[in-house]
Amino acid sequence: MFYAHDVRSLFAASPVAGAAAASTPAAQSEGPIARMLHRALSLLGTPYRWGGTTPEGGFDCSGLVGYVYRNNLGIELPRISRDMARVGELIRDRDALAEGDIVFFSRKGKHVDHVGIYLGNGQFLHAPRTGKDVEIASLASGYWSQKFLQARRVAPQAPTLAQAQ
């Protein structure tokens, strides 16, 4: 798991990483997904609270994802992770993940019971559980890698350089 002080080094190679804060002219020229992720990272350290949907009151996992999408992209998602997992384009292959995709997990079996936002570089942002704060975790290895079920793309992606040519 990673905390706010780890973010700069963690995302040094990511397009999300090197840009200035979302209020600067440089960040405003980025696409909406990059701006959303910058703002989402500002929520690192927010306390977990079951049923929570705001930075002031804390977040549960689906409350965090819903808040970020609603307040940054204007996309209203279902309130619970199980219902979120039915919205948007299904992505089963981890190699096809893009920044901003919503990633889903099952801690107890086959059914979705946890959700986060993919940041790129094999990392995702989530509100893990009671007693923990919003953090960055690895999708590439460890606990969450084994619990990954699927992802959904609900926000339009900016074309890559290869697609634009």
Closest-CA residue to 46 (of 143, 142, 133): 133
The contacts of residue 39 (CB under 8 Å, 6+ apart) are: 22, 68, 71, 72
Q: Is 126 in the active site? A: yes
Burial tier of 161 (Cβ tally within 10 Å: 0-12, 13-18, 19+): exposed
At position 117, the amino acid (one-letter code) is: I
Q: Are 150 and 104 in contact (CB under 8 A)?
A: yes
Kindly name the residue from 5, 38, 111, 126 that is annotated as catalytic.
126
Q: Please identify which of the residues 5, 38, 111, 114 carries the catalytic annotation.
A: 114
The verdict on whether 111 is a catalytic residue reads no
Contact of 81 with 69, CB cutoff 8 Å: no
Residue 5 known to be catalytic: no
Please identify every residue annotated as catalytic: 61, 114, 126
